[in-house]
Chain A
């Protein structure tokens, strides 16, 4: 017996050296050709050949033992064991693993969702079925050899790696950015389940001993992959809402863990920072996005904890933008402003009274559906139960006053633009707004609306000839006025304007009539507000416009002369240059006037080049306003500097800087650095308005 053992030891040594010297090199030589890695069919063939070579050697080594040891003796299994170990170690190298990885991967990739085919095309279907059975046959063949070689563990490890990366790849390949679905398509998870429990499982089970959980594990994996995929796509889901609801459903069904939630928040915030919250995006777009965000996250997490977290950066950003309030108010009041974009959704939501301020507190003991806040809620999380996004916007700022101010201005403008004293629409808006802001906040709006209603009555009386005292000339029926209670309206720039004499005359008569109707009251005209219907009869064309009083008065001047210089117009209209230019621009755009150096000429005949002029002038005007703003800012700073140097004689630059920082009101904002200020002061020295004496600046006499 002992002798036999020693014989076996010796034989194992011989076999080992033979294996290393001859069998292994032969097997590995199959890998040598470079096209092996490129062609999947050759790959499979190579794999087969490698394993066959090894199997042959294996059988060959076992052959002599048949005569010495019985079939199931311990010695036989000892020999087989050591041989298997040797094979496994020999094949554990990188080369073999790569080849098998690629081979199995290739076979798995054929298992995926069958390519769509026509129902009638039986031949295709048969061919596909054929492929699958061929594939399974091949894998079965492979398994037999693997069993002989005893390298199941090795192959299982490889397969595990492969199906892991394959499923990842498959999910991202199939579902990446597939956020929309046809009606009859099943949800992504259902589809995945079908594929995994079907062809993939069939192929994997050939090579892996199934303990009954493998399909479930693969399905879990797929669901996890889908969750990660959709979490990364959250930004696109919000942008594509509501078309992207299927994508959202996917996420909702596969988001299970707390980790997913925090991942979602982090990834969404990052994409917001990168793609939304920078100065290249319109405020209106940010607001629209925020509305969609609210809707999407409400669907995903009705408790609103996720929403609360992801919306914080957006809200913080919106607070920084200075036209946020304007955009929101315009949206709520459905103002058509090309600059603010379409936010009419806000208006619709506002009209949706049922969704209004449901800020009943959390301690509603009658609420049987009450659940505590989730664990990941922030400490200052406040539950807002409704998906009321108007409320979300109104809570952007600490107080609603900013909105009220803007609303007053918008409503005032709208009331002023009314032509027939028809206040119904404004009254409706006002009532809706009152539900949000409370009665008292919008008191001045009430007065404004009432003013217009009252004006209608007064205006009727003014024009009523029956009430006319004998001998008084009636007011022209086309002049109508709105009487405003000065204290309740926003302050207007009451700039003077010289209206045409005829109109001035009518206005005086109107005012006189008003004073007789309302004794003790005097009418002060705001001549630059309102609108004028103008008909122009030129040599070759008749035009009709509805314009501002500025524009009307200006074009009226051209009735007597065909050309005026700018300073001439300024004098005659009693307005400043900017107003003249602005009013003239309107007429230039419409091809009625032409700019000629520093004067404007009436075009009795339309010019060919009208269009070109129009283009040029719009471009120029927008540039001008940007410049105007900068000059305006500088003018403010300069007047402060003059003020302090007049009174305090001379100051070093630090004091000037700190004065400007402290004293210029927040609304204007002073944000220049000391260096910028130094540059500005240097420019002023160059213009001989300042001088620098012993480190301190002073005004030049």
Chain B
């Protein structure tokens, strides 16, 4: 048995990004992009992360759900987030915050998140799915070098039992959050 003509692709090492002006995007292309991202997210069915538009009229407001990764203090807990996409998405990062009260070194008490890819490291190749995955992994691997919640960072480093206790004290089940 001989193999003939197997096809292969030569991977060019440099990934070319088109330099598109951020101003030239209209709301239609945002809607389209978000629609296809939703499709991708729905079809991939990655367990533990999920997001969906809040209403069918405005695709720029999403709500998401993140399950705490196994083997972290967040195991078995689910958190709710709110995502707001700017009109020139994906050239600008979406604004994301935790709706559920959160005890985490990089999240402040009103839910604001300190994550590089949502700020200066944002790139148009990220999408909802990658953001959700990054947030999920952030739960297990906080960046304690620049904490928003210093007390949490301190507990994480020095006293995991105390950390878990504070975490549970703040935690609210999604059911209890109600509509907001």
Given contacts A524-B9, A643-B51, A643-B52, contact A663 B3 (CB under 8 A): no
CB-contact partner of B56 in A499, A636, A647, A662, under 8 A: A662
Q: Are B50 and A483 in contact (CB under 8 A)?
A: no
User: In the complex, what residues of B have CB within 8 A of residue A483's CB?
Assistant: 8-10
Interface residues of A in 504-531 (CB under 8 A from B): 506-507, 510-511, 514, 518, 520-527, 529-531
* Cβ proximity bits A661-677 to B, threshold 8 Å, 1 near / 0 not: 11111001000000000
| Stretch binding the partner chain, chosen from B37-45, B84-92, B134-142 | B37-45
Given contacts A532-B4, A534-B1, A636-B42, contact A643 B12 (CB under 8 A): no
B73 on interface, CB distance cutoff 8 Å:
no
Q: Are A531 and B4 in contact (CB under 8 A)?
A: yes
B72 on interface, CB distance cutoff 8 Å:
no
Given contacts A486-B11, A535-B1, A665-B39, contact A527 B64 (CB under 8 A): no
Q: Are B10 and A533 in contact (CB under 8 A)?
A: no
Given contacts A523-B10, A658-B56, contact A533 B4 (CB under 8 A): yes
A556 on interface, CB distance cutoff 8 Å:
yes
Q: Are A532 and B3 in contact (CB under 8 A)?
A: yes
User: In the complex, what residues of B have CB within 8 A of residue A419's CB?
Assistant: 4-5
A481 on interface, CB distance cutoff 8 Å:
yes
Q: Are A479 and B6 in contact (CB under 8 A)?
A: yes
Q: Are A520 and B45 in contact (CB under 8 A)?
A: no
B2 on interface, CB distance cutoff 8 Å:
yes
Q: Are A478 and B10 in contact (CB under 8 A)?
A: no
User: In the complex, what residues of A have CB within 8 A of residue B59's CB?
Assistant: 663
User: In the complex, what residues of A have CB within 8 A of residue B8's CB?
Assistant: 481-484, 507, 510-511, 523-526
A24 to B72, CA, bound (A): 120
- In the assembled complex, how far is the CB of residue A62 from the closest CB belonging to chain B, in whole angstroms? 99
User: In the complex, what residues of A have CB within 8 A of residue B41's CB?
Assistant: 643
B53 on interface, CB distance cutoff 8 Å:
yes
- In the assembled complex, how far is the CB of residue B8 from the closest CB belonging to chain A, in whole angstroms? 4
Q: Are B3 and A503 in contact (CB under 8 A)?
A: yes
CB-contact partner of B7 in A416, A520, A647, A648, under 8 A: A416
Q: Are A659 and B56 in contact (CB under 8 A)?
A: yes
B124 on interface, CB distance cutoff 8 Å:
no
User: In the complex, what residues of A have CB within 8 A of residue B39's CB?
Assistant: 664-665, 668
- Chain B interface, >50% SS class: mixed
- In the assembled complex, how far is the CB of residue A30 from the closest CB belonging to chain B, in whole angstroms? 87
User: In the complex, what residues of A have CB within 8 A of residue B175's CB?
Assistant: 649
Q: Are B53 and A485 in contact (CB under 8 A)?
A: no
Q: Are A665 and B3 in contact (CB under 8 A)?
A: no
A416 to B8, CA, bound (A): 10
Q: Are A481 and B63 in contact (CB under 8 A)?
A: no
Q: Are A639 and B42 in contact (CB under 8 A)?
A: yes
Q: Are B11 and A524 in contact (CB under 8 A)?
A: yes
A534 to B53, CA, bound (A): 52
A646 on interface, CB distance cutoff 8 Å:
yes
B100 on interface, CB distance cutoff 8 Å:
no
Given contacts A640-B42, A643-B41, contact A486 B12 (CB under 8 A): yes
Q: How many A-B residue pairs have CB under 8 A?
A: 151
User: In the complex, what residues of A have CB within 8 A of residue B11's CB?
Assistant: 486, 521-524
Interface residues of A in 391-443 (CB under 8 A from B): 416, 419
B174 on interface, CB distance cutoff 8 Å:
yes
Q: Are A482 and B5 in contact (CB under 8 A)?
A: yes
User: In the complex, what residues of A have CB within 8 A of residue B80's CB?
Assistant: 647
Q: Are B10 and A485 in contact (CB under 8 A)?
A: yes
A331 on interface, CB distance cutoff 8 Å:
no
Q: Are A514 and B10 in contact (CB under 8 A)?
A: yes
Q: Are A636 and B43 in contact (CB under 8 A)?
A: yes
A480 on interface, CB distance cutoff 8 Å:
yes
B54 on interface, CB distance cutoff 8 Å:
yes
A549 on interface, CB distance cutoff 8 Å:
yes
Interface residues of B in 1-48 (CB under 8 A from A): 1-13, 16, 35-36, 38-39, 41-43, 45
Q: Are A648 and B63 in contact (CB under 8 A)?
A: yes
CB-contact partner of B12 in A485, A526, A527, A639, under 8 A: A485
* Chain A minimum-CB-distance residue to B50: A646
A644 on interface, CB distance cutoff 8 Å:
yes
A370 on interface, CB distance cutoff 8 Å:
no
A644 to B5, CA, bound (A): 46
Given contacts A636-B43, A643-B52, A663-B53, contact A479 B10 (CB under 8 A): no
A631 on interface, CB distance cutoff 8 Å:
no
B65 on interface, CB distance cutoff 8 Å:
yes
Q: Are B42 and A549 in contact (CB under 8 A)?
A: no
A555 to B35, CA, bound (A): 42
- In the assembled complex, how far is the CB of residue A650 from the closest CB belonging to chain B, in whole angstroms? 10
CB-contact partner of B45 in A479, A500, A639, under 8 A: A639
- In the assembled complex, how far is the CB of residue B70 from the closest CB belonging to chain A, in whole angstroms? 18
Q: Are B6 and A663 in contact (CB under 8 A)?
A: no
User: In the complex, what residues of A have CB within 8 A of residue B43's CB?
Assistant: 636, 639
User: In the complex, what residues of A have CB within 8 A of residue B174's CB?
Assistant: 649
User: In the complex, what residues of B have CB within 8 A of residue A487's CB?
Assistant: 12, 16
Q: Are A530 and B5 in contact (CB under 8 A)?
A: yes
Q: Are A556 and B65 in contact (CB under 8 A)?
A: no
* Chain A minimum-CB-distance residue to B174: A649
User: In the complex, what residues of B have CB within 8 A of residue A485's CB?
Assistant: 10, 12
Q: Are B4 and A518 in contact (CB under 8 A)?
A: no
Given contacts A639-B45, A662-B56, A665-B35, contact A480 B10 (CB under 8 A): no
Most buried by A among B7, B43, B51, B80: B7
Q: Are B5 and A531 in contact (CB under 8 A)?
A: yes
User: In the complex, what residues of B have CB within 8 A of residue A165's CB?
Assistant: none
A-B contact pairs, 27 of them (CB 8 A): A479-B4, A481-B5, A482-B7, A483-B9, A484-B8, A485-B10, A485-B12, A486-B9, A487-B16, A499-B3, A500-B3, A503-B6, A518-B10, A523-B8, A524-B9, A525-B7, A529-B6, A642-B50, A643-B50, A643-B52, A644-B52, A646-B50, A647-B51, A647-B64, A663-B59, A665-B36, A668-B39
Residues of chain A at the chain B interface (Cβ within 8 Å): 416, 419, 476, 478-487, 489, 492, 499-500, 503, 506-507, 510-511, 514, 518, 520-527, 529-535, 549, 552, 555-556, 559, 636, 639-640, 642-644, 646-649, 655, 658-659, 661-665, 668
Sort A-B residue pairs by CB-CB distance and give the 10 closest, nearest first.
Answer: A529-B7, A662-B56, A647-B52, A478-B2, A530-B7, A639-B42, A525-B8, A646-B50, A503-B3, A530-B6
A487-B16, A643-B52 given. 5 additional CB < 8 A pairs? Answer: A484-B8, A526-B9, A527-B6, A531-B4, A665-B36
